[in-house]
Chains A and B, each alone.
Chain A
Amino acid sequence: MSKALSDRRKFILNMARGVGLATMSGFIWSAFIDEATAAKLTLRPPGALKEEDFLKTCIKCGLCVEACPYDTLSLAAPGDNKAIGTPFFIPRDIPCYMCTDIPCVPVCPTGALDESSVTTNEKLDINVADMGLAIVDEKSCVAFWGIQCDACYRACPLLDVAITIEYSKNERTGKHAFLKPVVHADACTGCGMCEHACITEDAAIKILPRDLVQGKAGSHYIKGWDKEDEKRLENAKEIKTVTEISKKTAVDSLNSNLLEDLY
């Protein structure tokens, strides 16, 4: 039985072992990367591609980090629970100050920070940046209690555009007003100046990645009162769906399997 393996057999076995090991390691490797890039709560520098493409494109060089004069950005280290090596910021610590010359974007060698996404009329325009969206927690924001605070409103680089103050009557006292901050999703850049300025113990206004907080109505809803939106109807095609209706009578259907199902 102790016959030596033939060369051919050895070769085949070795190949099989190689392929087997490679497949196994491949799966472990993939699973690890899947985990390592799963962090959803990561705020990216201005002009970042959408997360999936960003992770694909960013080479983790940190040139954006070095370019930021406010030390806003850092690269994720092991233990940060973020996709390792990629740039992010935590607005409560240091927000993005929305530099008008956006130094962090043009230095990016890979286009992971896309200049064209922060450009209007061929000029860099930080106001169209989209790093996230500010969300107010009405439970902890003291302005909603009736206490006057407009820290976030005043901190906002797009004051009166991205945050406005809504006045309403304080029925509890009968003689005071609520001065409530309201964020406008179309204008907010997610810079986090508001979160940074918020006076509550844990910020009552927080920046979250947009896809985490924003929904989508679906293209079949059209605002009939909005001329622009109505235009979408012009190219609309009729779709007919037919549902086959059962020919049986209701009694048939009731009698069919009912008893069998019960017993």
Chain B
Amino acid sequence: MKKLWNSYRYLFFRRFTQISLLILYFGANAWGWKMLQGNLSSSTILGVIPMSDPYAALQMLAAGATLATDLLLGVLVVTLLYFVVGGRAFCSWVCPINMVTDFASFVRELIGMNKLTGVKQPASRKLRYWVLGLSLIVSAIMGLAAFEFISPISMLHRGIVFGIGFGWAGVLIIFLFDLFVLKNGWCGHICPLGGFYSILGKFSLIRVKHNEENCTLCMKCKVVCPENQVLHMIGKKSLPVLSGECTNCARCIEVCDDDALSFSLRSMAQNKKTGE
């Protein structure tokens, strides 16, 4: 039992956070709760502290919209938050699509899909930065925040919070795509919001750290990691995970039986030493 808890504790906390946030947002709309009003695009905590999606704001800027002070304040709050907890902590602790893609990835492993397709992935993980760039160009040309009109993340979140239609189709497509076409396809390759937070994550404070002395090279961490390219140092060098693509989901920490991975704070000295 203890072992079970140990190897799923972060997963539990993540699901707990993701679902609690959904409930708080839902409650605000359905029963007038004040904790967390709005949705992931923009919200207020207790009606006072503003929070806004910095990527949405960036698209609005590209589209030539005037950014209101409230919006900018909200962007600042969110940017600071993820600067501390790790850019893509949004992905593994908040984003509702993460539950869908994690599930797809779980089923994929279960039915042996990964054996069928082999280890070599047919698409580049850099794709998301192209999508990110493209979204800004399309925003500028169309004069509208381009990704916000197609984002399956906002659609799903709005759908749940406001009890309106979700665009089931979009979510299903992502699920099937991740399951049958490309492992970690959406979150690990395409999603421009994930791409945006990856960039922010390059500078953020809380990082996973590898202690090579304890490592027994079981490679369990690399199997569970949705972005396993960031774990290139496993068994080779004691290093923190410096890539912003790490989602701080902590799956690697909890599956490691040998205490070779843990959370740590990024220190500037470390960065210099490794030349990142």
Contact = CB atoms under 8 A, between A and B. Distances in A.
A77 B42 contact: no
A62 B39 contact: yes
Interface in A3-62: 18, 22, 25-26, 29-30, 32-34, 36-37, 52-53, 55-57, 59-62
Contacts of A74: 162, 164
Interface stretch (B64-72, B181-189, B204-212, B234-242): B64-72
A124 interface: no
Interface string B41-69: 11110000010110011001001111110
Contact of A84 (B67, B141, B149): B149
A96 interface: no
A27 to B, nearest CB: 9
Contacts of A36: 149-150
Contact of B155 (A34, A57, A63, A78): A78
22 contacts: A22-B133, A33-B146, A56-B63, A56-B143, A57-B66, A59-B42, A59-B56, A61-B42, A61-B52, A62-B162, A63-B38, A66-B29, A74-B164, A77-B162, A77-B167, A84-B149, A85-B154, A109-B38, A109-B52, A109-B68, A109-B71, A109-B74
B162 A75 contact: yes
A22 B127 CA distance: 10
B11 interface: no
4 closest pairs, A vs B, by CB?
Answer: A77-B165, A61-B42, A77-B164, A111-B68
Given A56-B145, A60-B154, A66 B71 contact: no
A183 interface: no
Interface residues of B, number: 52
Nearest to B161: A62
A74 B163 CA distance: 10
B223 interface: no
A77 to B, nearest CB: 4
Contact of A85 (B63, B133, B134, B148): B148
B99 interface: no
Given A33-B138, A59-B56, A109-B74, A78 B166 contact: yes
Contact of B130 (A22, A32, A60): A22
B158 A59 contact: no
A163 interface: no
Contacts of A30: 138, 141-142, 146
B23 interface: no
B28 interface: yes
B139 to A, nearest CB: 9
B123 to A, nearest CB: 12
Contacts of A22: 130, 133-134
A61 B38 contact: yes
A26 B134 contact: yes
Given A18-B130, A75-B158, A61 B41 contact: yes
A77 B71 contact: no
Size category of the binding interface on chain A: 35 or more
B50 A109 contact: yes
Contacts of A84: 149-150, 155
Contacts of B60: 56-57, 59, 110
A83 interface: yes
Given A26-B138, A33-B142, A33-B146, A59 B159 contact: no
Best-buried of A22, A26, A62, A75 by chain B (most CB within 10 Å): A62
B144 interface: yes
B41 A59 contact: yes
A26 B137 contact: yes
B79 interface: no
Nearest to A21: B130
Given A77-B158, A109-B70, A37 B167 contact: no
A68 to B, nearest CB: 11
Best-buried of A18, A80, A110 by chain B (most CB within 10 Å): A110
B37 interface: yes
Contacts of B37: 63, 66
A75 to B, nearest CB: 5
Contact of B149 (A52, A62, A85, A109): A85
A165 B53 CA distance: 50
B4 to A, nearest CB: 39
Contact of B42 (A34, A63, A80): A63
A133 B66 CA distance: 27
Contacts of B135: 29
